[in-house]
Amino acid sequence: MFAPLSSKYSNPILPGFYPDPSVCRVGADFYLVTSSFHYFPGVPIFHSRDLVHWRQIGHCLTSRSQLNLDGCKSSLGIFAPTLRFHKGLFYMITTNTNGFRNFYVWAKQPEGPWSEPVWLDWPGIDPSLFFDEDGRVYITGNGGFLGDEALGIYQAEINPETGSLLSERRFIWAGTGAKAPEGPHLYKIHGKYYLLIAEGGTEYGHMVTIARSDHPYGPYESHPFNPILTHRSIDSPIQATGHADLVELEDGSWWAVFLGIRPAPVQFGGLHHHLGRETFLAPVTWSTEGWPVIGERGRVSEMMDARSLPVTAEPISYLLEDEFNLNQLDFSWNFLRNPEEGSWSLTENPGQLMLKGSAVTLDDADSVAFIGRRQQHFCCAVSTSLSFNPTLEGEEAGLTVYMNEKFHYEIALSYREGKRKVIFRRRVGSLWKLEREEEYDGPDGIILSIDADPSRYIFSYTRPGRTQTAYGSGECSLLSTEVAGGFTGVYFGLYATGNGRKCSAPALFDWFRYNPESQRRI
Ligand code: 6LW
């Protein structure tokens, strides 16, 4: 055995909107996927050697035929995926709730290419696959939340080559009685079948419960000390822990990945989280009676003991700076729904990201010309350099902090009343306000910036060669899930729109920076 290089690691292991994690191990390599909802490409996939440091290696759903998000409402689309590896193939199974269909894709390499979807005759959400030692393969999922059948966990045998069901769909466990029994995963451990699920809803009552049986279809015996993970009603910076997946290491130890949230550390005013549901890691220990528990008796913290994990000091692997010099977007970037053809380019003006605005705006649940990356840190600074010379009334392009189409703030260049102006706008539900507009007669390459701390975003711009001008601010809490709803977290986005018609001019972004270390400068 080798000694770990670091005895501690910090949670979350994937900060920002990365919910419903699912993990699998192939030799010494770990792979992890998360939900992606109405963002495209779908289902980011990550690699790690130590379970702590993850590097994104691609997405499982990269084409419209794999992921059609036409007309997708915000926070619908791709729900909880499960990732498994069996006999040389990776399988990722999930639900596209935009049309409500379950499917899986498979790949020889986790980086892709991933197959076309294998569509399943299987209702409900949160499908999972289990490859048993005897060659049988089970699909396990949630059912009943749309009303036609009893609420709980259902299972059937499936042919993984065709996706056809080989047995009837059977109800196997209702959970312990809390709301929303979902996110099931089946494992065979020490000769028994263990059924791990989430209960209590994905909000502050979230938890993980487990049951076991000698047979895959039960009867399932509930762990007498369920839940095995929850932060409901406790005072912790981490809340809503639940929706877990387990993985066994080569040394026989077990670990769990799961989602949690971090309400912004603001005094008074209730709990609000705007970074989304994030991915956490905790060790699993087994009682002498053969029951697992996650973390310290079901609780976890921001600094955790790495135990035997081979934690290395890896460099930061998320996007800090993009000069837009490559022909391909960094994996950190997402579109809202499938991007409209011709709405973006890295090659038309090499070295710059070009966005071509259409009639669609940030206020529409549609494919606005937009690329965004998640806000992953409470304190951070983002900035971009924009060249944009519109000639039609209403055209605009800029930088947004975006939760969904009804909750977003932006600083932008816009053509209004025959002049190019810097604008600052906030939309909070049915409140919509252009807070400031001033003529901008400066040169190309205006720098638009947002500085974030846990409670406030400050928006500013810099005319090339001049000092920064603070221009407006907005509360983070008004973009939180508690206010804006949904399952996602805040993005910083570059966007362009003609506000009702096609833009006459392209928006050219020369670079983008994300600085998580930032101390507020203004
Ligand atoms: C997901 C369900 C859940 O399908 O929220 O937290 C849903 N758990 O299992 C959307 O992420």
**pLDDT average, residue stretch 299-317:** 88
Q: How far is CA 501 from CA 38, 344, 359, 508, in A?
A: 23, 16, 4, 19
Confidence at residue 362, expressed as pLDDT on a 0 to 100 scale = 98
Which listed residue (182, 199, 278, 405) is catalytic? 182
Confidence at residue 318, expressed as pLDDT on a 0 to 100 scale = 85
Confidence at residue 522, expressed as pLDDT on a 0 to 100 scale = 45
Pull the structure tokens for residue 499.
């506000």
**pLDDT average, residue stretch 102-128:** 98
* Residue 330 pLDDT exceeds 60: yes
259 Cα nearest atom in ligand 1: 6
Q: How many residues does the chain have?
A: 522
Mean pLDDT for the chain overall:
95
Cβ–Cβ under 8 Å, residues 484 and 423: no
d(CA 101, CA 411): 38
Ligand 1 neighbour 79 (Cβ under 6 A)? yes
pLDDT band at 313 (very low <50, low <70, confident <90, very high): confident
Which listed residue (20, 126, 278, 475) is catalytic? 20
Secondary structure (H, E, C), 104-167: EEEECCCCCCCCCCEECCCCCEEEEEEECCCCCEEEEEEECCCCCCCCEEEEEEECCCCCCECC
Give phi and psi for 478, each to the nearest 5.
Answer: -75, -10
Confidence at residue 1, expressed as pLDDT on a 0 to 100 scale = 41
Ligand 1 neighbour 19 (Cβ under 6 A)? yes
**pLDDT average, residue stretch 223-246:** 97
Residue nearest to atom 8 of ligand 1 (CA): 202
Residue nearest to atom 9 of ligand 1 (CA): 183
142 Cα nearest atom in ligand 1: 9
How far apart are the CA of 379 and the centre of ligand 1, in A?
Answer: 27
434-455 pLDDT, tens digit per residue, is 999 999 999 999 999 999 999 9
Ligand 1 neighbour 81 (Cβ under 6 A)? no
Confidence at residue 518, expressed as pLDDT on a 0 to 100 scale = 63
> b/e per residue, 131-154, with b = 16+ CB within 10 A?
beeeeebbbbbbbbbeeeeebbbb
How far apart are the CA of 341 and the centre of ligand 1, in A?
Answer: 31
* Burial (Cβ within 10 Å: 0-12, 13-18, ≥19) of residue 340: middle
Q: What's the whole-model pTM score?
A: 0.97
Can you list the domains of the chain with their CATH numbers?
A: 8-305 (2.115.10.20), 321-515 (2.60.120.200)
How far apart are the CA of 20 and the centre of ligand 1, in A?
Answer: 6
253-306 pLDDT, tens digit per residue, is 999 999 999 999 876 678 999 999 999 999 999 999 999 999 999 999 999 999
How far apart are the CA of 35 and the centre of ligand 1, in A?
Answer: 8
Residue nearest to atom 6 of ligand 1 (CA): 202
Confidence at residue 144, expressed as pLDDT on a 0 to 100 scale = 83
How far apart are the CA of 520 and the centre of ligand 1, in A?
Answer: 35
Pull the structure tokens for residue 333.
């970037």
pLDDT band at 145 (very low <50, low <70, confident <90, very high): confident
Radius of gyration of the chain from Cα atoms?
A: 23
How far apart are the CA of 417 and the centre of ligand 1, in A?
Answer: 46
The residue with greater pLDDT, 317 or 361, is 361
Confidence at residue 110, expressed as pLDDT on a 0 to 100 scale = 98
- pLDDT above 70 covers what percent of the chain? 97
Ligand 1 neighbour 125 (Cβ under 6 A)? yes
Residue nearest to atom 3 of ligand 1 (CA): 202
346-360 pLDDT, tens digit per residue, is 999 999 999 999 999
Helix (H, G, I), strand (E, B) or coil at 475: strand
Confidence at residue 315, expressed as pLDDT on a 0 to 100 scale = 75
Helix (H, G, I), strand (E, B) or coil at 443: coil
Confidence at residue 174, expressed as pLDDT on a 0 to 100 scale = 98
The residue with greater pLDDT, 147 or 428, is 428
**pLDDT average, residue stretch 187-191:** 96
Residue nearest to atom 1 of ligand 1 (CA): 80
DSSP character string of 293-310: EETBTTB--SEEE-TT--
- Identify the DSSP state of 358: B
Confidence at residue 114, expressed as pLDDT on a 0 to 100 scale = 98
Catalytic site residue 20? yes
How far apart are the CA of 177 and the centre of ligand 1, in A?
Answer: 17
How far apart are the CA of 79 and the centre of ligand 1, in A?
Answer: 6
Mutate to test the pocket of ligand 1, among 39, 243, 257 (most ligand atoms within 8 A of CB): 243
Give the list of residues 6+ apart from residue 62 with CB closer than 8 angstroms, or none. Answer: 41, 42, 112, 114
Which helix (DSSP H) or strand (DSSP E) does residue 401 occupy? strand 396-404
Ligand 1 neighbour 182 (Cβ under 6 A)? yes
Catalytic site residue 396? no
Confidence at residue 419, expressed as pLDDT on a 0 to 100 scale = 97
Confidence at residue 2, expressed as pLDDT on a 0 to 100 scale = 46
Ligand 1 neighbour 202 (Cβ under 6 A)? yes
Confidence at residue 519, expressed as pLDDT on a 0 to 100 scale = 54
Confidence at residue 520, expressed as pLDDT on a 0 to 100 scale = 54
Instruction: Return the minimum-mean-pLDDT range out of 30-34, 99-103, 458-462, 514-518.
Output: 514-518
202 Cα nearest atom in ligand 1: 6
